[in-house]
């Protein structure tokens, strides 16, 4: 495990492991990130069955431990599953239920949702999985409301994500909840991907970093993020890059997939989300801080992008999981606070 004292993330290993899905979890939670301090995640892999275990691609797996690691974990991730018709071991179901009861979070990527659904803990809640498996998940677990359009869903500290790459979105969202937007963006930049993806999904949030990073526009994007209150215009951003407006707009769109004006609005909405989730500031003050000027303007763009009002978002996300230094019997930090309701 990394030399940190933060939350323990345990990824489950099984014969026939989905390599890419496991790689997502290991990349985000398992890499050493000394710049983020000693409170960063600890990471371990847990074999849920006797070996030898083989992953997709033909290589053998050497786990950090066995299923007993589940009993210590703060976050347990199921990185895909053997198949949507594959049985889930009773011992694993018992351990997952027990972990949830003591306050641990459970998460899945793609077909891993079938494992979490089998625990019964998702009953009467919302979940998602790869669109190819959504109908099967719904038919097998009719007490769950399956959303085949969302990138990820949450219900009572249980998180499910769609097709494989959506697992990146969910894992970064969990980082954001634990450590804030700045840290989540930092992790996303190292992955060279957006901290959140926009599009026809439930999250509807901004692209925090370029899809195809372009060194000529990246500096001004960072400058804008650091000074959102300034009355930025496309012309002002173009001047900051030393380009004509036409050239700047073309390169910006090539780098981000959107125009500078729409990106600026999304960046301001993302900043407003961060303030709303961690403070009780009045909406007027939030609007001024992020450069919208008036609460009316903030509400207009917030509803369009997030599909919620700022007040609704605050109620849903203000109570986030936080990690504070404190004694948990062994000198390690312990988790305080409550988890936010379903993502919408």
Instruction: Compute CA 186 distance to the chain's CA centroid, rounded to the nearest angstrom.
Output: 13
pLDDT recorded at residue 325:
32
CATH 1.10.10.60 residue ranges for the chain? 212-318
pLDDT recorded at residue 1:
54
In DSSP terms, 8 is beta-bridged to 42
322 in helix, strand or coil?
A: strand
CATH superfamily of 212-318: Homeodomain-like (1.10.10.60)
Q: What is the pLDDT of residues 185-211, one digit of tens each?
A: 888 878 866 555 543 333 333 334 444
In DSSP terms, 155 is beta-bridged to 158
pLDDT recorded at residue 2:
56
For residues 80-102, average pLDDT: 96
Fold of the domain spanning 8-185: Rossmann fold (3.40.50)
- In this predicted structure, the answer to whether residue 342 has a pLDDT above a threshold of 70 is no
**Percentage of the chain lying above the pLDDT 90 cut:** 61
Question: Alpha carbon of 158 to those of 9, 43, 112, 154, 277: distances in Å?
Answer: 14, 19, 12, 6, 20
3-state helix, strand, coil in the chain (%, to 5): 45, 15, 45
For residues 290-298, average pLDDT: 95
pLDDT recorded at residue 216:
82
Rg, C-alpha atoms of the chain? 21
Distance between CA atoms of residues 149 and 27, nearest Å: 25
One-character DSSP codes across 119-182: TTTTTTSEE---TTTHHHHHHH-TTSEE-SS-SEEEETTEEEE-STTHHHHHHHHHHHHHH-HH
Distance between CA atoms of residues 23 and 91, nearest Å: 25
Mean pLDDT over each residue of the chain, to the nearest integer: 84
One-character DSSP codes across 23-74: HHHHHHHHS--GGG-TTSPEEEEEESS-S-EEBTTS-EE--SB-GGGGGG-S
Which residue has better confidence, 190 or 270? 270
- pLDDT band per the 50, 70, 90 thresholds, residue 150: confident
What is the Cβ-side half-sphere exposure of residue 257, based on CA atoms within 13 angstroms?
13
CATH 3.40.50.880 residue ranges for the chain? 8-185
- In this predicted structure, the answer to whether residue 314 has a pLDDT above a threshold of 70 is yes
pLDDT recorded at residue 106:
98
Residues 6+ apart with CB under 8 A from 278: 180, 318, 320
**Percentage of the chain lying above the pLDDT 70 cut:** 84
Distance between CA atoms of residues 264 and 236, nearest Å: 12
Q: What is the pLDDT of residues 239-268, one digit of tens each?
A: 999 999 999 999 998 887 789 999 999 999
**Which of 34-48, 173-187, 263-277, 325-339 comes out lowest in average pLDDT?**
325-339
Return the closest-CA partner of residue 305 out of 198, 225, 163: 198
């Amino acid at each position: 495990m990394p030399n940190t004292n933060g939350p323990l993330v345990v990824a489950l290993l099984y014969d026939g492991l989905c390599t890419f899905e496991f790689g997502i979890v290991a990349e985000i939670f398992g890499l050493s990130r000394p710049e983020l301090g000693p409170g960063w995640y600890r990471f371990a892999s847990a074999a849920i069955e006797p070996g030898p275990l083989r992953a997709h691609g033909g290589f053998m797996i050497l786990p950090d431990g066995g299923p007993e690691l589940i009993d210590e974990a703060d976050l347990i991730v199921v990185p895909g599953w053997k198949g949507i018709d594959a049985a889930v071991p009773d011992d694993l179901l018992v351990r997952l239920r027990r972990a949830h009861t003591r306050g641990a979070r459970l998460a899945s990527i793609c077909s891993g949702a079938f494992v979490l659904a089998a625990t019964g803990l998702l009953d009467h809640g919302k979940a998602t999985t790869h669109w190819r498996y959504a109908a099967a998940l719904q038919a097998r677990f009719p007490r769950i409301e399956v959303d085949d359009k969302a990138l990820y869903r949450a219900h009572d500290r249980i998180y499910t994500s769609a097709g494989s790459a959506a697992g990146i979105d969910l894992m970064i969202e969990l980082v954001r909840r634990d450590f804030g937007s700045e840290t989540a963006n930092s992790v996303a930049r190292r992955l060279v991907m957006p901290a959140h993806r926009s599009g026809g999904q439930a999250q509807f949030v901004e692209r925090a970093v370029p899809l195809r990073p372009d060194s000529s526009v990246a500096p001004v994007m960072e400058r804008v993020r650091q000074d959102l209150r300034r009355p930025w215009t496309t012309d002002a951003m173009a001047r900051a890059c030393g380009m004509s407006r036409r050239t700047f707009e073309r390169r910006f769109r090539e780098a981000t997939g959107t125009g500078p004006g729409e990106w600026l609005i999304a960046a301001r909405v993302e900043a407003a989300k961060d303030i709303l989730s961690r403070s009780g500031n009045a909406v007027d003050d939030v609007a001024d801080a992020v450069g919208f000027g008036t609460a009316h303007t903030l509400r207009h763009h917030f509803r369009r992008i997030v599909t919620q009002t700022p007040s609704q978002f605050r109620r849903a996300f203000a109570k986030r999981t936080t990690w504070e230094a404190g004694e948990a019997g062994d000198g390690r930090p312990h988790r305080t606070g409550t988890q936010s309701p379903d993502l919408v």
